[in-house]
Each structure stands twice: as structure tokens, then as C-alpha cells.
């Protein structure tokens, strides 16, 4: 017995359903699992260039905390989106990085590297992080000349439930040095791979 051929109208309806389901799956994956993100500035050079695109795992941080060295996308504290040196949530002692963010999160997304977690004692010399008395292994950063943005020799302690973020381009990054550490609830996810341009495809 021959199968009944579908009419053009039925074929069109089936195609529309397939497209809608595919779009729904794509949107669902972006909303809950993996989201693409475009690098907007030079703050993560040389690791990530302007215009490069990465994939961000949106569910990983629900099950475990980011670790030192991870690259994450997050909402910074309100005031950081203005650029420049941002806004600290408390008066900064001379020679110390900001140790407290403003109470509200900004709506913009930033991407930086985790250089300190709760309880870590952090100071910064010539752009190099000194964490709990041990210099960061930072072959991935761009050099940072001695000066105001590169030197915070006075030690601060990262508060409970927060993460201290810095860009790899230490002389051209607006980060936790100026607007403080970031609460876990403001972290969107960890960047785990780069997919554009093709010559830079790979895992982070």
C-alpha cells in the first residue's frame, strides 16, 4: 500500500514546526546551558583579542565555585560600567585595591580572569598578583609598568562568597582593583572555548 504523499500545505506546516522547534532549542541552550560571547575590549589580551568569540558554560558555576585562573563572564558592580577607574563600594586605603563592591550589580557583561577567591590575601606589584604571599604564575599577562594602575602593595582580603577579577592586559583593564570583588551570584559562567576566528579555535 502506497503511503499518502503530503500536500504542499502540510509540508510547509511541518517545515515551520521544525524551524520553530530548532529555534526554541537554540534559545533554550543559550539561556540555560551555553552562551556565545564576543570580546569587546583589549582587557584580556593576549589571551583573548577584541572581536574574538568564546563559549560560556552557564550551568557550571551552579554546581561548583570558579577557581583561580578561570576566565569568567559576569555582571560587575554598578558603577563599573562607566569605565575609567569604576567605583569602589568603600573608601580605599592608600596603596590598596578595592575590597568591597557597590551593593548593586550592573546590567553589562564583563569577562576577566579569577585571581583570588574568598579568604585570599591579595596585593599587586607591577601588575603581578601576590596571593597569600606567593606571586601569581602569570606568563599569560601583558607587562604592566610601575604606577598607579599597576601597584597596590597594601594587602586586602577577599570577602566570603566573592571573587577578585583581573584582565590579562593589566595596564588596560578596568577590574576588581578599582570596583572590588564580585559576588558569586553575579557570575554568569565560565568561558571554556573560543570558536572565532577559525585560527583561534580551541579550549581555554
- Dump pLDDT digits (tens) for 69-99: 999 999 999 989 876 567 899 998 899 999 9
The reported pLDDT for the residue numbered 20 is: 44
Question: How many angstroms separate the CA atoms of 99 and 4, rounded?
Answer: 71
Half-sphere exposure of 37 (CA within 13 A, CB side): 28
CB-based contact 75:89 (threshold 8 Å):
no
Q: Taking residues 105-125, what's their average pLDDT?
A: 96
pLDDT for residue 63 is more than 90: no
Higher pLDDT, 115 or 21: 115
CB-based contact 102:78 (threshold 8 Å):
yes
**Phi and psi for 165 in degrees, rounded to 5?**
-110, 140
Residue positions annotated with a catalytic role: 43, 112
Q: Taking residues 132-161, what's their average pLDDT?
A: 91
Query: Domain spans of the chain?
Result: 36-203
> Which listed CATH number (2.10.109.10, 3.40.630.40, 3.40.50.300, 2.60.40.1120) goes with 36-203?
2.10.109.10
Higher pLDDT, 88 or 10: 88
pLDDT for residue 10 is more than 80: no
For residue 163, CA distances in Å to 84, 106, 141 come to 21, 16, 19
pLDDT for residue 64 is more than 90: no
Amino acid at each position: 500500500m502506497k503511503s499518502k504523499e503530503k500536500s504542499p500545505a502540510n509540508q510547509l506546516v511541518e517545515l515551520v514546526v521544525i524551524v520553530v522547534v530548532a529555534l526554541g532549542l537554540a534559545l533554550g541552550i543559550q539561556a540555560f546551558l551555553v552562551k556565545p560571547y564576543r570580546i569587546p575590549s583589549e582587557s584580556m589580551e593576549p589571551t583573548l583579542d577584541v572581536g574574538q568569540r568564546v563559549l560560556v558554560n552557564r550551568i557550571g558555576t551552579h554546581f561548583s565555585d570558579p577557581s583561580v585562573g578561570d576566565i569568567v563572564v559576569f555582571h560587575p558592580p554598578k558603577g563599573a560600567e562607566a569605565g575609567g577607574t569604576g567605583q569602589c563600594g568603600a573608601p580605599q586605603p592608600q596603596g590598596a585595591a578595592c575590597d568591597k563592591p557597590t551593593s548593586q550589580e550592573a546590567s553589562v557583561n564583563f569577562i576577566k580572569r579569577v585571581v583570588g577567591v574568598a579568604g585570599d590575601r591579595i596585593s599587586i606589584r607591577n601588575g603581578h598578583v601576590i596571593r597569600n604571599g606567593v606571586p601569581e604564575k602569570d606568563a599569560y599577562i601583558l607587562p604592566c609598568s610601575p604606577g598607579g594602575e599597576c601597584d597596590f602593595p597594601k594587602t586586602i582580603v577577599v570577602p566570603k562568597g566573592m571573587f577578585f577579577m583581573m584582565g590579562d592586559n593589566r595596564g588596560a583593564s578596568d577590574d576588581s582593583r578599582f570596583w572590588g570583588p564580585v559576588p558569586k551570584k553575579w557570575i554568569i559562567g565560565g568561558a571554556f572555548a573560543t570558536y572565532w576566528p577559525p585560527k583561534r579555535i580551541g579550549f581555554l
